[in-house]
Amino acid sequence: MLLLLDTEVTMNHRQYEQHVKQLRALVERRLSSLVRHNGPNDLYDACRYVIFGGGKRVRSTLVILACEAVGGKSAVAVSAGAAVELMHNFTLVHDDVMDNARSRRGKPTVHTKWDVNNALLVGDVLLGLAYQCLFETTNGDVRRMADVFTSGLVDVCEGQALDLEFERAKNVLLEDYFTMIEKKTGGLIAMSAELGGLVGGGSGRQVTALRRFGHFLGRAFQLQDDLLDVVANVKEFGKTIGGDIVKGKKTFLLLKAMERARAKDKRILHRATTSARLPEGKRTITAKEQRAVAAVTAIYKRYGVIESAKAHVRRDTSSAIKALAVLPETSARAMLQWYSELLVRRVS
Amino acid sequence: MLLLLDTEVTMNHRQYEQHVKQLRALVERRLSSLVRHNGPNDLYDACRYVIFGGGKRVRSTLVILACEAVGGKSAVAVSAGAAVELMHNFTLVHDDVMDNARSRRGKPTVHTKWDVNNALLVGDVLLGLAYQCLFETTNGDVRRMADVFTSGLVDVCEGQALDLEFERAKNVLLEDYFTMIEKKTGGLIAMSAELGGLVGGGSGRQVTALRRFGHFLGRAFQLQDDLLDVVANVKEFGKTIGGDIVKGKKTFLLLKAMERARAKDKRILHRATTSARLPEGKRTITAKEQRAVAAVTAIYKRYGVIESAKAHVRRDTSSAIKALAVLPETSARAMLQWYSELLVRRVS
Mean pLDDT of B109-128: 97
**CB–CB of B146 and A147 under 8 A?**
no
Plot region of A268 (φ>0 → left; ψ -120 to 50 → alpha; else → beta): alpha
Residue B30 exposure: Cα atoms within 13 Å on the Cβ side: 28
**CB–CB of A127 and B132 under 8 A?**
no
User: Which chain A positions have a beta carbon within 8 Å of B143's beta carbon?
Assistant: 135, 142
Q: Which has the minimum average pLDDT: A44-58, A272-286, B213-227, B314-328?
A: A272-286
Classify domain A6-234+317-343 at the CATH superfamily level. Answer: Farnesyl Diphosphate Synthase (1.10.600.10)
Q: Which residues pair with B128 in a beta bridge?
A: none
* Closest C-alpha to B229, from B279, B297, B174, B288: B297
User: Chain A: nearest CA to B335, how far in angstroms?
Assistant: 32
Measured CA to CA, the distance from residue B117 to residue A216 in angstroms comes to: 28
Q: What is the pLDDT of residue B288?
A: 83
User: Chain A: nearest CA to B121, how far in angstroms?
Assistant: 6
Alpha carbon separation from A102 to A91, A97, A235, A333 (Å, rounded): 15, 9, 19, 39
**CB–CB of A132 and B123 under 8 A?**
no
Q: What is the pLDDT of residue A236?
A: 56
Residues B31-46: pLDDT tens digits?
A: 998 876 678 999 999 9
CA A15 to chain CA mean position, Å:
25
**CB–CB of A165 and B42 under 8 A?**
yes
- What is the value of pTM for the model shown? 0.92
- pLDDT-derived band at B282, boundaries 50, 70, 90: low
Measured CA to CA, the distance from residue B4 to residue B338 in angstroms comes to: 7
User: Which chain A positions have a beta carbon within 8 Å of B93's beta carbon?
Assistant: none
Q: What is the pLDDT of residue B35?
A: 73
User: Which chain B positions have a beta carbon within 8 Å of A182's beta carbon?
Assistant: none
**CB–CB of B132 and A123 under 8 A?**
no
Q: Which of A40, A158, A161 sits opposite B161 (nearest CB)?
A: A40
Whether the predicted pLDDT of B10 surpasses 90: no
Q: What is the pLDDT of residue A348?
A: 43
Judge whether B169 is closer than 8 Å to chain A, CB to CB: no
User: Chain A: nearest CA to B347, how far in angstroms?
Assistant: 32
Judge whether B131 is closer than 8 Å to chain A, CB to CB: yes
**CB–CB of B153 and A127 under 8 A?**
yes
Q: Which of A120, A142, A158 sits opposite B94 (nearest CB)?
A: A120
- pLDDT-derived band at B2, boundaries 50, 70, 90: very low
Mean of pLDDT over chain B: 90
- pLDDT-derived band at B284, boundaries 50, 70, 90: low
* Closest C-alpha to A191, from A97, A309, A98, A58: A58
Domain residue ranges of chain A, discontinuous segments joined by +: 6-234+317-343
Judge whether B158 is closer than 8 Å to chain A, CB to CB: yes
Whether the predicted pLDDT of B283 surpasses 70: no
Q: What is the pLDDT of residue A33?
A: 86
Taking the alpha carbons at both ends of chain A, their separation in whole angstroms is 20
CATH class of the domain comprising B6-233+320-343: mainly alpha
- pLDDT-derived band at B244, boundaries 50, 70, 90: confident
Measured CA to CA, the distance from residue A332 to residue A318 in angstroms comes to: 18
Measured CA to CA, the distance from residue A120 to residue A110 in angstroms comes to: 9
Residues A233-252: pLDDT tens digits?
A: 655 555 567 888 888 889 99
**CB–CB of A128 and B98 under 8 A?**
no
> How would you write the pLDDT of chain A (348 residues) with one tens digit per residue?
344 444 455 557 889 999 999 999 999 999 998 876 678 999 999 999 999 998 899 999 999 999 999 999 999 999 999 999 999 999 999 999 999 999 898 899 999 999 999 999 999 999 999 999 999 998 889 999 999 999 999 999 999 999 999 988 888 999 999 999 999 999 999 999 999 999 999 999 999 999 999 999 999 999 999 999 888 765 555 556 788 888 888 999 999 999 999 999 999 888 877 765 555 555 567 888 888 889 999 999 999 999 999 999 999 999 999 999 999 999 999 999 999 999 998 654
Judge whether A43 is closer than 8 Å to chain B, CB to CB: yes
User: Which chain A positions have a beta carbon within 8 Å of B172's beta carbon?
Assistant: none
- What lies within 8 Å, CB to CB, of A88 at 6+ separation is A55, A59, A188
- pLDDT-derived band at B129, boundaries 50, 70, 90: very high
Measured CA to CA, the distance from residue B226 to residue B239 in angstroms comes to: 12
Measured CA to CA, the distance from residue A322 to residue B61 in angstroms comes to: 50
Measured CA to CA, the distance from residue A309 to residue A332 in angstroms comes to: 29
CA closest to A93 among chain B residues? B120
Which residue of B37, B90, B127, B132 is the best one to mutate when testing the A interface, meaning the one whose CB has the most A CBs within 10 A?
B127
Measured CA to CA, the distance from residue A94 to residue A86 in angstroms comes to: 13
Mean pLDDT of B4-13: 55
In this prediction the ipTM stands at 0.91
